Structure 1
Amino acid sequence: MNITIKDIARVTNVSPATVSRVLNNVGGYNEATRKKVLQAAAELGYRRNESARSLVKNSSNLIGVIMPQVSTLFYGDIMTGIERAAHQSGYSIIISHSGNVGDKIPECIKLMAERKVDGLIIATVEINDEHLAMVQELRIPYLLLATRMPDRNVPYLKVNDFDAAYTATHHLIENGHEKIGLVGLSLTDRVAGTTRFEGYKRALEDNGLKFDPHLVKEGDYGFYSGQRAMQSYLQEKTELTAVFCVSDDVALGVISVAADHGIQIPDDLSVVGYDNTIIAEMSIPPLTSIDQPFMEMGEEGCSMVIDAIRHKQKIYSKIMPYTLVERRSVKQITHKIF
């Protein structure tokens, strides 16, 4: 038997219109009425017909999320935050993967159009003008999360990568390091790559240290990038005492090769990571890392999109705070180590 709003109204002696307002959280009733209606709905086993409701409201109650198809730990935290905010507001989430380098973004956007999502979040992947035009054709609120379009006025939510990279590098300099490597970034990535590179470089310059391009090892932000970089340092017999890694995954790659060659962290080499994922705590030794509040970013970003849907308001870009979490992977030195 399908329980309807009229059934709840009959049991509670409340008008169907008031029952509808309570169930849709619209307002216009007192707290006692709200509790009575919700209790009756639960006891009767009322289930809202979302399909019919969507037709009436011209709304799917869906938030679309597009993110890369890569196994990086922080994506779980981002999604936890997004889902928490969505469910608290009565929305559901549909996720589409853009491929490792964003090559499937057009397909993802087409899927979101077919599913008639009410809002869209594009997380950690860089989009181009073609993608942006497709998104704007949807005529729904959208937000870039942990990414941005540097040359376009597109709303985003992220940390300041330049400042965070500066902070990480400066921390190593404060501990006596002068030969500092930069590992794992892509210099063609204008979102996280060039900004972290510039932050690293500026920290060196501000402290009177000469920038050495041979200390920069590019990669794809992953574990194997860290391994390849460390192997390259060893093969080239590079003089350095510390490395700033652009992700915790990269840092673990560096540490694994260092361990294979009897290089102790931090006695022989200091390491700073980026993201402060769970592996930063699990690393041996525990890893000093830049903390990005991914769960809070997911929650805040989703809330921004939902507010824009409900109140038909513009989304404004926002910078989230970061912190340097100090653990045991950095040593204060007075001379070159290896």
Structure 2
Amino acid sequence: MNPTIKDVAKYANVSIATVSRIVNGLPGYTEDTKKKVQEAIEALGYQPNAIARGLINKRTQTIGVLFPEVSGMLSSEVLEGVENAAHDGGFSVIVCNTTSSGKRTVKYLRLLQEKRVDGIIFASENVKEEYYKIFQEMQVPVVLVSTASQFNLPFVRVDDYEGAFRATEYLIQKGHKQIGMIGGSFEDPIAGVPRMKGFQDALEKHGLDFTDQQMTSNEGYRFQNGKESLPLLLDKLPLMTAVFAASDEMAIGAMAAAHQLGIRVPEELSIIGYDNLKIAEMCYPALTTVSQPLKEMGQSAGEILVKLIKGKEKEAESRYMPFTIVERQSVRDLRKK
């Protein structure tokens, strides 16, 4: 027979009302009492009834998370952080894969509205006006992660312009002057445009000419995009000694293309990526890259959302997370010739 709230109260030697307040995150008890109740819950294996809890605190204890591509390596790391924060706050997570489709995103938002989720984390995609109108209808807190918006919504992200600028500058400081970029989309204001602009500005700051011939654009940031882009870039820049790729998957795709073309990395072509996915240290040669703290970004966004839902914060400030360049073996220092 499953233990009841009455059993927990008896085990902890407190009232049923006290157990109820602790389980539902309401005030009115000491830390010692809370500890005793938590120990009783663990000892008895008590599982609070989610429906009953929702009737008390008017919450479903669920958070909706929307990704444009759940299967992507970046999404999985961000999601791990979000789930950690949600679990610590007593929430479950509903994950939605929008595939960057506006109609699908709207459909999922309506579904989350029907499910009466307590808050939303919106990741890696531009917030369209139709999405924002649904957010307002739902009247729940929304936190963005790895993206930003023209609307007044808190976000957790890395400065993509600055990250791309530093990656390009890193190559220049290693003695490279003929540098190309495998970029994202000119229609992507979140990561595409800022990273391409950072690349261009870094070249110009260091007195290197920039032309459109030094860059390819892509609709996605996947392995195949990088693999297909490198030969195109080499046709335009036959003397190129280094490539900055706008994602690690693109960078590893470029490495695969280089191998097929008989070009040695980094001896003949240096490559730097962006993200620091787990696969970056598994490939050969291991990839030098701009490290985004993806798991920490997800966790931070989740913690902000939980605080907003519980009323511990009325408003949340956006956060730029720090990035670093992780040096591995895919970039050659030309100054050591």
TM-score, length of structure 1 as denominator length: 0.93
2:183 is paired with a residue whose SS is: strand
Describe the shift of the 1:267–1:74 C-alpha distance in structure 2 as closer, same or farther (beyond 3 A): same
Structure 1 residue 130 displacement after superposition: 1.4
Describe the shift of the 1:31–1:121 C-alpha distance in structure 2 as closer, same or farther (beyond 3 A): closer
Give 1:66's aligned amino acid. L
Q: Report how many aligned residue pairs link the two structures.
A: 335
- Aligned partner of 1:190 in structure 2 is 189
Describe the shift of the 1:240–1:102 C-alpha distance in structure 2 as closer, same or farther (beyond 3 A): farther
- Aligned partner of 1:225 in structure 2 is 225
Gaps of 5+ in 2: none
Q: For the residues of structure 1 that align with 2:176 and 2:247, how far apart are their CA atoms?
A: 20
Structure 1 residue 334 displacement after superposition: 5.6
- Aligned partner of 2:131 in structure 1 is 131
After superposition, the CA RMSD in angstroms is: 2.0
Once the two structures are overlaid, the 10-residue window that deviates more, 15-24 or 311-320, is 15-24
- Aligned partner of 2:316 in structure 1 is 315
Is contact 1:102-1:125 (8 Å) kept? no
Q: For the residues of structure 2 that align with 1:66 and 1:37, how far apart are their CA atoms?
A: 35
Tell me, yes or no, if structure 1 residue 243 matches structure 2 residue 224: no
Q: For the residues of structure 2 that align with 1:237 and 1:167, how far apart are their CA atoms?
A: 22
- Aligned partner of 1:152 in structure 2 is 151
Describe the shift of the 1:235–1:40 C-alpha distance in structure 2 as closer, same or farther (beyond 3 A): closer
Give 1:68's aligned amino acid. P
Listed one character per residue, the Cα deviations across residues 42-81 of structure 1 (whole Å, up to 9, x for unaligned) are 4444221111110222111111101013532121111110
Is contact 1:181-1:243 (8 Å) kept? yes
Tell me, yes or no, if structure 1 residue 169 matches structure 2 residue 168: yes
- Aligned partner of 2:65 in structure 1 is 65
Give 2:137's aligned amino acid. E
Describe the shift of the 1:267–1:42 C-alpha distance in structure 2 as closer, same or farther (beyond 3 A): closer
- Aligned partner of 2:85 in structure 1 is 85
Q: For the residues of structure 2 that align with 1:102 and 1:275, how far apart are their CA atoms?
A: 25
Listed one character per residue, the Cα deviations across residues 106-142 of structure 1 (whole Å, up to 9, x for unaligned) are 0111011011010100011112111111112111100
Gaps of 5+ in 1: none
Once the two structures are overlaid, the 10-residue window that deviates more, 8-17 or 183-192, is 8-17
- Aligned partner of 1:40 in structure 2 is 40
Matches within 5 A, 1:197-216: 197-216=196-215
Once the two structures are overlaid, the 10-residue window that deviates more, 193-202 or 26-35, is 26-35
Q: For the residues of structure 1 that align with 2:19 and 2:136, how far apart are their CA atoms?
A: 37
Once the two structures are overlaid, the 10-residue window that deviates more, 198-207 or 93-102, is 93-102
Q: For the residues of structure 2 that align with 1:6 and 1:323, how far apart are their CA atoms?
A: 52
Is contact 2:119-2:141 (8 Å) kept? yes
1:188 is paired with a residue whose SS is: coil
Q: For the residues of structure 1 that align with 2:3 and 2:83, how far apart are their CA atoms?
A: 28
Q: For the residues of structure 2 that align with 1:262 and 1:321, how far apart are their CA atoms?
A: 37
- Percent of aligned positions with the same letter in both sequences? 39
Structure 1 residue 153 displacement after superposition: 2.8
Describe the shift of the 1:102–1:281 C-alpha distance in structure 2 as closer, same or farther (beyond 3 A): farther
Q: For the residues of structure 1 that align with 2:224 and 2:65, how far apart are their CA atoms?
A: 27
Q: For the residues of structure 2 that align with 1:307 and 1:173, how far apart are their CA atoms?
A: 43
- Aligned partner of 2:294 in structure 1 is 294
2:112 is paired with a residue whose SS is: helix
Describe the shift of the 1:104–1:237 C-alpha distance in structure 2 as closer, same or farther (beyond 3 A): same
Structure 1 residue 237 displacement after superposition: 5.8
Listed one character per residue, the Cα deviations across residues 199-223 of structure 1 (whole Å, up to 9, x for unaligned) are 1111011101110211101112111
Is contact 1:68-1:102 (8 Å) kept? no
Q: For the residues of structure 1 that align with 2:131 and 2:3, how far apart are their CA atoms?
A: 44
Structure 1 residue 242 displacement after superposition: 0.5
Tell me, yes or no, if structure 1 residue 278 matches structure 2 residue 259: no
Describe the shift of the 1:36–1:144 C-alpha distance in structure 2 as closer, same or farther (beyond 3 A): closer
2:310 is paired with a residue whose SS is: helix
Give 1:79's aligned amino acid. L
Describe the shift of the 1:41–1:128 C-alpha distance in structure 2 as closer, same or farther (beyond 3 A): closer
Q: For the residues of structure 1 that align with 2:13 and 2:72, how far apart are their CA atoms?
A: 53
Give 2:242's aligned amino acid. A
Is contact 1:177-1:242 (8 Å) kept? yes
TM-score, length of structure 2 as denominator length: 0.93
- Aligned partner of 1:99 in structure 2 is 99
Listed one character per residue, the Cα deviations across residues 158-187 of structure 1 (whole Å, up to 9, x for unaligned) are 100000000000000001111111103111
Describe the shift of the 1:309–1:36 C-alpha distance in structure 2 as closer, same or farther (beyond 3 A): closer
- Aligned partner of 1:326 in structure 2 is 327
Q: For the residues of structure 1 that align with 2:34 and 2:134, how far apart are their CA atoms?
A: 42
Once the two structures are overlaid, the 10-residue window that deviates more, 235-244 or 283-292, is 235-244
